Amino acid sequence: MTQRNHHHQDHQAHGEQPPHPRTGAEGDVHAGHDKHAGHSVASFRDKFWFTLLLTIPTLIWSGMIQHWFDYTAPQFPGSAYIPAVFGTIVYFYGGWPFLRGGYHELRNRLPGMMTLISLAITVAFLYSALVTLGVVEGLDLWWELATLVAIMLLGHWIEMRSINQAQGALKELAKLLPDMAVRLDEAGTAKEVPVADLKRGDLLLIRPGASIPADGVVKEGTSAVNEAMITGESKPMDKSVDDRVIAGTVNGQGSLRVEVTGTGDETALAGIMRLVEQAQTSRSRAQALADRAAFYLTIIAIVSAAITAIVWPLLGRPWSFTIERVVTVLVIACPHALGLAIPLVTAISTTIGARNGLLVRDRRGLEEARLLNTVVFDKTGTLTLGSHRVVKTTAAEGLTDDEVLRVAASVQRDAEHPIAQALMTSAKEHGIDVPMSQGFESMPGRGVRAVVEERSLHVGGPGLLRMLAVEPPETLRRAAESAAADGQSATYLVEGDRVLAVFAIADAIRPESFDAVKRLHDEGLEVVLLTGDSTAVANAVAKELNIDTVFAEVLPEDKVAKIEELQAQGKRVAMVGDGVNDAPALLTSDVGIAIGTGTDVAVEAGDVVLVRSDPRDVPAIIELSKATYRKMIQNLWWAAGYNIVAIPLAAGVLAAWGILLQPALGAVLMSLSTVVVAINAQLLRRAVRSP
Catalytic site residues? 378
Helix (H) or strand (E) holding 646: helix 643-651
Helix (H) or strand (E) holding 142: helix 142-166
SS3 223: strand
Distance (Å, rounded) from C-alpha 417 to C-alpha 440?
A: 14
Distances (CA, A) of 142 to 12, 29, 63, 95, 132: 37, 31, 10, 13, 10
- For residue 273, how many other CB atoms are within 10 A of its CB? 22
Tell me the Cα Rg of the chain.
Answer: 34
Q: Which residues contact 442 (CB under 8 A, 6 or more apart)?
A: 415, 448
Distance (Å, rounded) from C-alpha 373 to C-alpha 234?
A: 30
Q: Which residues contact 584 (CB under 8 A, 6 or more apart)?
A: 1, 3, 556, 557, 559, 560
Distance (Å, rounded) from C-alpha 587 to C-alpha 584?
A: 5
Tell me the residue length of the chain: 691
| Contact criterion met (CB below 8 Å) for 602 and 275 | yes
Q: Dihedrals φ, ψ of 390, to 5°?
A: -80, 110
Distances (CA, A) of 108 to 13, 18, 300, 480: 11, 16, 19, 74
Least Cα distance to 379 among 615, 619, 620 occurs for 615
Distances (CA, A) of 195 to 208, 249, 274, 629: 18, 14, 20, 41
| Contact criterion met (CB below 8 Å) for 626 and 28 | no
Helix residue ranges, H only, 455-608: 462-468, 474-485, 511-522, 535-545, 559-568, 583-588
SS3 536: helix
